[in-house]
Amino acid sequence: MNSLFELYSTHQGKVSDKWGIYLPTYDRIFLPYRNKPVLLLEVGVQNGGSLEIWSKYFTQAQKLIGCDINPACAALKYADPRVAIVVGDANTDLAERQISIHAQHFDIVIDDGSHRSSDIIKTFARYFPKVVDGGVFVAEDLHCSYWQEFEGGLHDPYSSMSFFKLLADVVNHEHWGAHQKRGELTKGIAKRYGVTLHEELLSCIHSVEFVNSICVIRKQRCSDNQLGERIVTGQLALVSSDALKVAKEHSVPLNQSTNYWTTLERPPGELVKDYEYTIAERDGQIVRAHSSPKCNGVDDSGPVRLKVK
């Protein structure tokens, strides 16, 4: 089988544009799917060349669907009947219905759309539920997540990268040691972008992998995502016999109900603006107090206590 790089190197059809590191990464990630009747959705196709290449790469593919908001994509035609184009905003109900005409679920979803944080998170919330168990969701070009022009920044708590980092904690939910649901961690971002991330959906996230500008989220049944029992093998414990005592045990998290960093209502990054507002408000009170003959009854002799709005 030709590698993805070889297919790109010899491609003569419609133009496709991918960064160099993506090709070997996709070869590794998609290898288990190459000879299967995959259903693939790619959001953002531009000139449409990637769909031609995917048709050569996934020779047994059942359906390869591209969705793009650019009306010019309506002119894209393919000789391969397995390839279909949907013109529209993938994050609308209309486009989703048009996509569902071709396929109700997917083995692979690739987001190569606007690269704006809001769109990436909305696409994940809308189409990850349609990914089958054992399937993958891939977000491309996440370097845009570090740029304000694409609704991002290195420490922006609502960027797509911040969102995917939170999903890495979701994978380890059983070890939090507090009575918090997975959705509580992502509720700030969900509210910001008007999306719904059900607890059941979040429990199906098996792994979150980062490669330069790419995030790969794998989906499995919730039962397949647990740490499981401790497997101990062998008979000679010459250094410590403790391991022999824990065979078949399950991990029990330490109680973190009094851990400040566990019991925060929201991720720290989301609180920064609240703290800035509270500090500015308090500073204004202090200035006004010092400018008043009677200090307006404000006692500034002790430490300032901040209350987050």
| Model confidence pLDDT, tens digit, residues 79-133 | 999 999 999 999 999 999 999 999 999 999 999 999 999 999 999 999 999 999 9
Instruction: Say what the pLDDT of residue 291 is.
Output: 86
* Per-residue confidence band for 304, with pLDDT thresholds at 50, 70 and 90: very low
Catalytic residue among 115, 173, 175, 206: 115
Instruction: Say what the pLDDT of residue 295 is.
Output: 53
Nearest to 42 by CA among 130, 155, 137: 137
* Per-residue confidence band for 243, with pLDDT thresholds at 50, 70 and 90: confident
Average pLDDT, the chain: 93
Inform me whether the pLDDT recorded for 63 exceeds 50: yes
Inform me whether the pLDDT recorded for 302 exceeds 60: no
* Per-residue confidence band for 259, with pLDDT thresholds at 50, 70 and 90: very high
Instruction: Say what the pLDDT of residue 280 is.
Output: 86
Among 109-123, 176-190, 240-254, 289-303, which stretch is predicted with the lowest mean pLDDT?
289-303
Instruction: Say what the pLDDT of residue 143 is.
Output: 98
* Per-residue confidence band for 292, with pLDDT thresholds at 50, 70 and 90: confident
DSSP the chain: ---HHHHHHH--SS-----TTHHHHHHHHHGGGTTS--EEEEE--TTSHHHHHHHHHSTT-SEEEEEES-GGGGG---SSTTEEEEES-TTSHHHHHHHHHH-SSEEEEEE-S---HHHHHHHHHHHGGGEEEEEEEEE--GGGGG-GGGT--TT-TTSHHHHHHHHHHHHTGGGS-SS--HHHHHHHHHHHHT----HHHHTTEEEEEEETTEEEEEE--GGGGS--B-----S--SS-SHHHHSTT-B--PPP-TT-HHHH-SS-HHHHHHHHHHHHHHHHHHHHHHHHSTTGGG---SSPPPP---
Instruction: Say what the pLDDT of residue 296 is.
Output: 52
- pLDDT (average), residues 219-235: 95
Instruction: Say what the pLDDT of residue 294 is.
Output: 60
- pLDDT (average), residues 192-203: 97
How many of the other CB atoms lie within 10 Å of CB of 180? 16
* Per-residue confidence band for 305, with pLDDT thresholds at 50, 70 and 90: very low
Nearest to 14 by CA among 46, 57, 42, 62: 46
How many angstroms separate the CA atoms of 101 and 118, rounded? 25
Instruction: Say what the pLDDT of residue 76 is.
Output: 97
Among 70-74, 109-113, 135-139, 235-239, which stretch is predicted with the lowest mean pLDDT?
235-239
- pLDDT (average), residues 221-247: 92
* Residue 179 bears catalytic tag: no
Instruction: Say what the pLDDT of residue 297 is.
Output: 52
Inform me whether the pLDDT recorded for 41 exceeds 80: yes
Nearest to 118 by CA among 182, 47, 192: 192
How many angstroms separate the CA atoms of 124 and 167, rounded? 12
pLDDT > 70: percent of the chain: 94
